[in-house]
Amino acid sequence: MTYVIALPCVDVKDRACVDECPVDCIYEGNRMLYIQPDECVDCGACEPVCPVEAIFYEDDTPDQWAEYYDANVDFFDDLGAPGGAAKMGVIDKDHPIVEALPLQPNPLA
């Protein structure tokens, strides 16, 4: 099991979760953040600090955002498990689900 970042993160990327993650497994794409499932230790530290409630335990992801589990997993198909997001910076891509979305309003702006 792992945690999943879903639609509310798109075009927000607050990064509070990144600061809280003890294993540095939250990577930044162009439009949203992604959790590397093989690096995540399921501690849950990221979930309560997300200001837009975009992070869910895999089994608790709302049905309307279930496809974001695959988006988080598939994002790493060509990256593998890099072993830490801090050294990667922004990764110049997003999952096709995210790329296809229109610009999302930022509720924190």
64 found inside a domain: yes
- pLDDT at residue number 109: 78
- pLDDT at residue number 50: 97
Q: How many domains, the chain?
A: 1
Domain ranges, residue 82 = 3-99
Give the CATH number of the domain where residue 73 resides: 3.30.70.20
36 to 9, 23, 41, 83, 84: CA distances (angstroms): 15, 10, 10, 9, 9
- pLDDT at residue number 68: 97
- pLDDT at residue number 1: 67
Q: Which stretches of the chain drop beneath a pLDDT of 50?
A: none
28 found inside a domain: yes
pLDDT digits (tens, 9 = 90+) for 81-94: 999 999 999 999 99
68 found inside a domain: yes
25 found inside a domain: yes
- Which of these, 65, 64, 71, 58, lies nearest to 99 by C-alpha position? 71
107 found inside a domain: no
